[in-house]
Amino acid sequence: MGRWGIVTLAAVAAVATACSPSAADDATGDETTTSTTRTPRITDDSGRPPVTFDPCYDIPDDVMNAAGYDAAKKEVADMPMGTHTFLGCTYKKEDLVPGVRRGYSLNILSGNVSLDEELKKNGHVATSATINGRSALLEVGPENRDACTYVLQTDFGVVFVTRLYNTDHPGPAPQSEWCAGMEEFVGSIEPHIAN
C-alpha cells in the first residue's frame, strides 16, 4: 500500500481524535454551498495547487443523511504534511446487521496529489473507473481487507472516498461486499466536488 493509502486508512482510524466541524463554525452542510473561491483551511509549502474542496463543508448534510451517514456526527480529519495537503472528513453509518456487520466507517479525503501519482503508488490494486464522466480509480486489495476506495480526479489533485466494512463476526467480510453500493454512493457526492 502506498503512503497516501496509509494516510487514508489512518484518517478512518483517527475518527475518535478529530474535532467536529460544527465546533469550528456554525454553518451546516445544508447552509454551505460549494464555492470555487473558498480559501483553503490548510495550505502547504510544496508549490502544489491549494486544496479547494473541503469534504466536511462542501458536501451537503442532506446528501450524506440520505445515504445513511449521520452528518451531525461528521468529524474533520485533516492531514497537513508540508509537501502536500489532505483535508478530510469522517462519517459513520451504524446499520447493524447482527452477525453480519456493525456498519461502515467512511473517510473522504481531498488532496493535492495527482491521479497519476496515486496510480504509480497503488496501481497493483487499482482499476480505471469513471464516475459521472470524471476520471477515477477503484482500489481494492487484500492488504486493505474490508475496504473499498474510489479516487476521483480534480483540478487540484484527487478526492479519496474510502469505506471500511465493519464486520460483526470474526474475520473479513466477503470481498464481494467490500464495494457493494459504493459506485452509486460516490456518484451521489461527485456533483459536489470542485473540479
The ranges assigned to domains in the chain are 3-192
pLDDT at 43: 64
- State pLDDT tens for residues 32-56: 444 445 666 666 666 788 888 999 9
Nearest to 41 by CA among 117, 114, 110: 110
- State pLDDT tens for residues 172-188: 788 888 999 999 999 99
Which one has a higher pLDDT value, 80 or 174?
A: 174
Q: Quote helix, strand, coil % in the chain, to nearest 5.
A: 30, 30, 40
Count of CB atoms within 10 A of residue 103's CB? 17
Per cent of the chain over pLDDT 70 is 74
Contacts of 90 (CB under 8 A, 6+ apart): 11, 12, 14, 15, 18, 74, 75, 77, 105, 106, 107, 108
